[in-house]
Chains A and B, each alone.
Chain A
Amino acid sequence: MSGRSILKRIDWLSVLIYLALVLIGWINIYSSTFIDEQSSIFDIGTRYGKQLFFIGVSLVSIVIILALEVNFYERFSSLFYLLSMVSLLGLFVFGKTIAGATSWYDLGFFNLQPSELAKVATALALAKYLSDIQTDIKRRKDQFFALLIILVPAILIIPQPDPGSALVFFAMIFVIFREGLPLYYLVIILSLILVFVTTLMFGTVWLIIGLVLMIILLYTLKRKSLKIPVIPLSLISVAIILFSLSVNFVFNNVFEQRHRDRFSLWLRLEKDPKKLEQIRRSIGYNTYQSEKAIESGGFFGKGFLEGTRTKGDFVPEQDTDYIFSTVGEEWGFLGTATVIILFTVLFLRLISLAERQKNAFARMYGYGVISILLIHYFINIGMVIGILPTIGIPLPFFSYGGSGLLFFTILLFIFLRLDTNRLKESF
């Protein structure tokens, strides 16, 4: 296929949104790291200069990705996966520790984070495995292998420790689910989350009372024809109660105080408003400052380079995980809404792209890309605007960080490259 036809067939809407997000992201990095004395935006010594350099690198990588043979990705996906798992293992020996987490290789001019590489590789490997003609997702064994592909990198990443990145891999369950993973997996996961939250908020006793009430309701409302499966129902109830008790145990005995505080803050478990305010200002300092910064932007924002809290460095990690608060302060609701809408349009567009693939590998990889981008976006912005607990993961295309930007770009553009070939069933 010629380069010209690739440019003709590539989904320009996705490309334009990508470019817009990268540009907006860079402007905000510039604003949050800008200091009056420095002048040149190309100065590699500054954060924004460095980021500009990586935007250049990413653009070059896009050219390479688009130039490569389209079946290259499918063919070598197993190898990529293997290599990335090795690189994750290698961290235990050669890893560089930054801010308490051993997640990087020191490559001299920049730090490579292999977990970023692993995201791309896992998405590819999962797509490859699920699209294999011999895989039947209805089979227990195949379900297990598919889950294993996701779990291995997650397990390797947790002890770095980097629970945020590990969480990203679980999002790829959506891919398996899309391809036919039985619904009850999702139901179980959601129920566990629900029981976890209910136990923390109301305690086991109220949970049991709620359970009993629900069973009574079931009996009173049931139709005569309906037979209630007594044994499974009681087993489920016992399981729920046991899980609830174990949540209590883990929360009180395994979690450290800082973890407990995060949850107390998120679920407003602390009832004393004075203590809650104190937790907000100490443990929740980052979120408190970022919420305040966003709030102070109002509807129209304070204007480019006019964010006082941004300039005063009040929000920690503002150019990385908390970059969205800069958008909020300087561009107001107009800015934040624009970013949310851009992301939403991009996701919906990618879903429609994935759905139009004739080739199963391309479709599944597409879902992998969406899952990974979506979980980053959801957790990051949810944290910055104070509706989710603090989990440190970057905002795709926005946050400062060379390897992050590069791999998000690679992740997205491999899919866009596959999409240019959508009309062919096999490559």
Chain B
Amino acid sequence: MRKILLSLIIVVIAITFLGRLSYLQIFSFSAEQVLEDPAIKAIYDYPERGYIYDRNGQLLVGNDPAYDVMVIPREVQPLDTLEFCGLLGIDKVKFIEKLRKARVYSPRLPSVLVPQLSKQDYAMLQEKMRKYKGFYIQKRSLRYYDTSSAANVLGYISEVNESDLAVNKYYVQGELKGRTGVERYYEDLLRGRKGVQYIQKDRFNRDIGPYKNGTIDTLPEQGKQISITIDKTLQEYGELLMNGKRGGIVAIEPATGEILSMISGPTYDPSLLVGRERSKNYTKLYNDTIANPTWDRSIHAQQPPGSPFKALNALVALQEGVIDETTKIQCYNGFYVGRKKKGCHCGGGLRDVHTGIYLSCNAFFAGAFKKIFEKFETTDEGMDVWEKHLRSFGLGDYLGYDLPFGQKGRIPSKEYYDKWYGDNRWSSSYIISNSIGQGEILTTPIQLANMTAAIANKGYYFTPHILKKIEGKAITAPKFTEAKHTTIDPKHFEPIVKGMAEVYTKGTARRLQIPGIEVAGKTGTVENFTKINGVRTQLTDHSVFVAFAPVNNPKIAMAVYIENGYYGSRYAGHIASLMLEKYLKGEITRTDLEKRILERTLEAEYAKPHSGEKFKINERVW
């Protein structure tokens, strides 16, 4: 027993040691430790972020060098503080405070003393920099915008935060990342890939040469240059017209689904979110919760579509065979739901699908809507069919465009009404408002524009998208290049398109004709309400307009939605007409029309609900 005890102890020790070592070296070991290793420092080489061009090759976003004044506190020697502060453009107290903070952070490591000098300041400072030991200038690259428009489309970039770092291991503290718009959606393309150089350090944090002789170092990969589908000229012109108005405009090329412009009003100059004033400006924009300039109305604002929706209801009725081109419905300056009369502005009389559309007759579409439901035994069946047709236009769901955010809109389903009224305790007359685009339907401007493009194409659309080319090569993603077909037979589009063309020739938009171009369109005037101190209050109607042109070979389809702009033919119709002309002709022939829109703003209208006083709505201003 005494003889084997020591041997036993030796074996137990060996097992204990091997157990502990396998715990450390096999179970606790992880390959990512290289980055936690205090002995290895990674030095990053950042590639330039990719440029963004418009569809015609015009620069939208580039890069601008910026110059940070850096300081290594330990190396600072006595200096002429007053002169140096003068060069830097900061006062002495601030300078001393910043220097103190830098020293607290680390006497050995560089800190930013003054960020992002302008080129002029840099030029001045550069020559005299030698005099100031411990200070140096570090160049970096900032976004530069060659336009003051399209802030909502382009988006902005900012420093990564803690949660970004947790989600994506690529980023390290201090790096920039796209936050909204194209900058966010195409972050990976634009950013490129940073190069890494690993340096071996000793415990005093001194460099002692490259790690593994640089064999695992990587070179930076340049950011890609991309072209987007936006037409810079049209975008800028549209934003000019939107001055003082709230709402969204989306224009699409029907043959491709390319988004020609996407405007949200009010907006802001994208340059505001770059450089030294960035955070101040951002806070200001973000805190404007009334006008909401950072909220992209073109993809977020869900509103009832109003009368343009009548075109879709007519298509559904035609497809289901409950009406044809000759079907006539009597309008009694309105129509009856039970014993209750709902009004109509068309003037009354017998209406068919053409006159119904160009005169925007409520009674005709209410009748057609009812006929759709009467075709089926139960309301549920009718509802399913109606919903299915509308959804085939990309309504009621995300469209699938390549922008980071968006809203679904709403196409109500039978479940929706079952919940609202109780199972089967409703019928088509309960939901008759949907026939004229009011009621429970909600759409975003981009959905309206896409719907218009589908009508222009007579039955199909391409998913709207914003990316056109990567490094000069056109995109090929089938998601964007393959047509999506609606459930409506192309032949049924003929009478609708004809009716929409007549809107311009004989109907609600006859004063908005563009000389030499045949346009199809549809006005919309949407009742809307808000709550003021808890009281449901009606506001001035929203002005809506959808249009495409030329009728026989559509180059552009668009939707304009102007909040509280009253009649569809007023603000929305005018803006649509001007933008169509600008895009198709490249110039404006009706300068009086243009002048009117540029001069008029709706600020007074928007101020009404906030005034605290009683106010009139739907005033006739012009």
Contact = CB atoms under 8 A, between A and B. Distances in A.
A and B co-occur in one complex: yes
Contacts of B6: 174, 178, 351, 367, 370, 374
Contacts of A377: 13
A357 to B, nearest CB: 13
B25 A306 contact: no
Contacts of A311: 39, 200, 202, 208
B14 A313 contact: no
A348 B25 contact: no
A344 B11 contact: yes
Contact of B38 (A312, A332, A337): A312
Contact of B21 (A296, A340, A343): A340
A333 B31 CA distance: 15
B553 interface: no
- Which of B14, B39, B202, B209 neighbours the largest number of chain A CB atoms within 10 Å of its CB? B39
B26 A312 contact: no
Given A36-B209, A306-B212, A312-B39, A340 B24 contact: no
B573 to A, nearest CB: 67
B212 to A, nearest CB: 7
A336 interface: yes
A313 B67 CA distance: 37
A308 interface: yes
B202 A294 contact: no
- Which of B6, B11, B208, B209 neighbours the largest number of chain A CB atoms within 10 Å of its CB? B6
A312 B200 contact: yes
A313 B202 contact: yes
B14 A340 contact: yes
Contacts of B26: 298-299, 333
A355 interface: yes
Contacts of A180: 2
B622 interface: no
Contact of A381 (B10, B17, B25, B28): B17
Interface string B15-29: 011101110111011
Contact of B20 (A309, A344, A370, A385): A385
A298 B25 contact: yes
Given A36-B209, A347-B10, A333 B200 contact: no
A337 B37 contact: no
Contacts of B31: 298
A11 interface: no
B533 interface: no
B388 interface: no
A92 interface: no
A374 B38 CA distance: 34
B29 A295 contact: yes
A330 B531 CA distance: 72
Interface in B211-232: 211-212
Given A296-B37, A308-B200, A328 B2 contact: no
Nearest to A378: B13
B454 interface: no
B22 A333 contact: yes
Interface in A371-391: 374, 377-378, 381-382, 385-387
Given A312-B39, A385-B17, A295 B28 contact: yes
- Which of A296, A306, A337, A381 neighbours the largest number of chain B CB atoms within 10 Å of its CB? A296
B273 interface: no
A381 B38 CA distance: 24
A294 B16 contact: no
A328 B17 contact: no
Contacts of B21: 294, 328, 333, 336-337, 340, 385
B549 interface: no
Nearest to B2: A178
Nearest to A311: B200
B10 A374 contact: yes
B38 A314 contact: yes
A332 B7 CA distance: 27
A180 B37 CA distance: 52
B414 interface: no
B18 A348 contact: no
A311 B213 CA distance: 13
B24 A291 contact: yes
What is the interface of chain B mostly: helix, strand, loop, or mixed? helix
Nearest to A298: B29
Contacts of B94: none
Contact of B29 (A296, A306, A313): A296
Interface in B157-205: 200-203
A314 B211 contact: no
A365 to B, nearest CB: 15
Contacts of A294: 21, 24-25
A367 B212 CA distance: 46
B289 interface: no
A347 B40 CA distance: 39
A298 B10 CA distance: 25
A351 B7 contact: yes
Contacts of B38: 309, 312, 314
B33 interface: yes
B25 A295 contact: yes
A377 B9 CA distance: 13
Contacts of B280: none
B510 to A, nearest CB: 77
A387 B20 contact: yes
A101 interface: no
Given A294-B24, A309-B37, A311-B208, A344 B10 contact: yes
A409 B515 CA distance: 108
- Which of B21, B22, B40 neighbours the largest number of chain A CB atoms within 10 Å of its CB? B21
A177 interface: yes
A402 interface: no
A180 B2 CA distance: 8
A297 interface: yes
A231 B3 CA distance: 34
B2 A313 contact: no
B2 A177 contact: yes
A214 B491 CA distance: 97
A341 interface: yes
B212 A312 contact: no
B211 A308 contact: yes
Contact of A314 (B17, B20, B39): B39
- Which of A291, A333, A343 neighbours the largest number of chain B CB atoms within 10 Å of its CB? A333
A242 B17 CA distance: 34
A259 B11 CA distance: 30
Contacts of A309: 37-39
B21 to A, nearest CB: 5
B16 A387 contact: yes
Contacts of B10: 344, 347-348, 351, 374
Interface string B527-565: 000000000000000000000000000000000000000
A33 B154 CA distance: 56
Given A299-B26, A340-B18, A312 B202 contact: yes
Contacts of A333: 21-22, 25-26
Contacts of A332: 25
Contacts of A374: 6, 9-10, 13
Nearest to A377: B13
A398 B29 CA distance: 25
A308 B5 CA distance: 41
A336 to B, nearest CB: 5
A311 B212 CA distance: 12
Contacts of A306: 212
A298 to B, nearest CB: 4
Closest 10 CB pairs of A and B: A312-B39, A308-B39, A333-B25, A298-B29, A344-B14, A312-B202, A295-B24, A347-B10, A336-B21, A309-B39
Given A178-B6, A312-B201, A340-B14, 18 more contacts: A36-B209, A296-B29, A296-B33, A298-B26, A308-B40, A309-B39, A312-B208, A313-B203, A314-B38, A314-B203, A333-B21, A344-B14, A351-B7, A351-B10, A378-B13, A385-B20, A387-B16, A387-B20
6 contacts: A177-B2, A295-B25, A311-B200, A336-B21, A351-B6, A381-B17
